[in-house]
Amino acid sequence: MNNHKGTLIVISGPSGVGKGTVVNMLLQRLKDAVLSVSCTTRAPREGEKNGKSYFFISKETFLKMIDEGGFLEYSNHFENYYGTPRFFVEQKLEEDKDVILEIDVDGAANVKKQFPDALLLMITPPSREELVRRLKLRGTEDEVLIEQRLRRADYEMSRSNFYDYTVINDDLEQTVENILKIVENRRKGIK
């Protein structure tokens, strides 16, 4: 199962840390890397497109996919389900492509069980204050949701020692450079 050449790159980090931007920059610079688009039961935010940000599906469909073994992993938080469609990831790895998963810490733990050679990267903010500032700046959520996301952020960051690397997203360009170096070293077999 794990005799593919492509690397499974798992990127986690609290909401508002800038994961989305980092991932988009990585996709532009990593030749042969593809992004796994997750399924979610949460409502789309403004500007999010179905099939690009997520596949926005009903809870009923999500539960059916769980039953059919359609997810590589899934988790449930903020009262919504999030899951990685299994077929796409397995197919791309077979094709020796690198596959990027942007998923939470619970999902990452599940992936690691199935793909022990997956590269787990945690992106953290320079400080908690900075995370609060970024979440408020995003302006897509109200105060209660921001509080909820901050509590979740504390949980996510408390699990960072489980990851292969923690990358602090202070300067975006530097963050991307650091990750590219880590991926390159992994390909060369350097820990």
Chain positions contacting ligand 5GP, by CB under 6 A? 15, 38, 42, 73-75, 82-84, 102-104, 106-107
Q: Which candidate, 20, 84, 29, 28, places its Cα nearest to that of 47?
A: 20
**Distance in Å, CB of 111 to ligand 5GP, minimum:** 9
Cα-Cα-Cα-Cα torsion 86, 186, 173, 102, nearest 10 degrees, comes to 20
Beta-bridge partners for 82: 40, 75
**Distance in Å, CB of 19 to ligand 5GP, minimum:** 7
Helix-then-strand count for the chain, H and E: 7, 9
Q: Which is nearer to ligand 5GP, 103 or 179 (CB)?
A: 103
Q: Which is nearer to ligand 5GP, 98 or 104 (CB)?
A: 104
Q: Which candidate, 98, 86, 93, places its Cα nearest to that of 31?
A: 98
Cβ atoms of 124 and 157 closer than 8 Å: yes
Q: Which is nearer to ligand 5GP, 103 or 131 (CB)?
A: 103
Cβ neighbours of residue 84 closer than 8 Å, sequence gap 6 or more:
36, 38, 39, 71, 72, 73, 74, 101, 103, 107, 111
**Distance in Å, CB of 82 to ligand 5GP, minimum:** 4
**Distance in Å, CB of 174 to ligand 5GP, minimum:** 22
| Residue of closest CB approach to ligand 5GP | 107
**Distance in Å, CB of 9 to ligand 5GP, minimum:** 13
Q: Which is nearer to ligand 5GP, 42 or 134 (CB)?
A: 42
Q: Which is nearer to ligand 5GP, 7 or 36 (CB)?
A: 36
The burial of 176, by beta-carbon neighbours within 10 Å (0-12 exposed, 13-18 middle, 19 or more buried), is given as buried
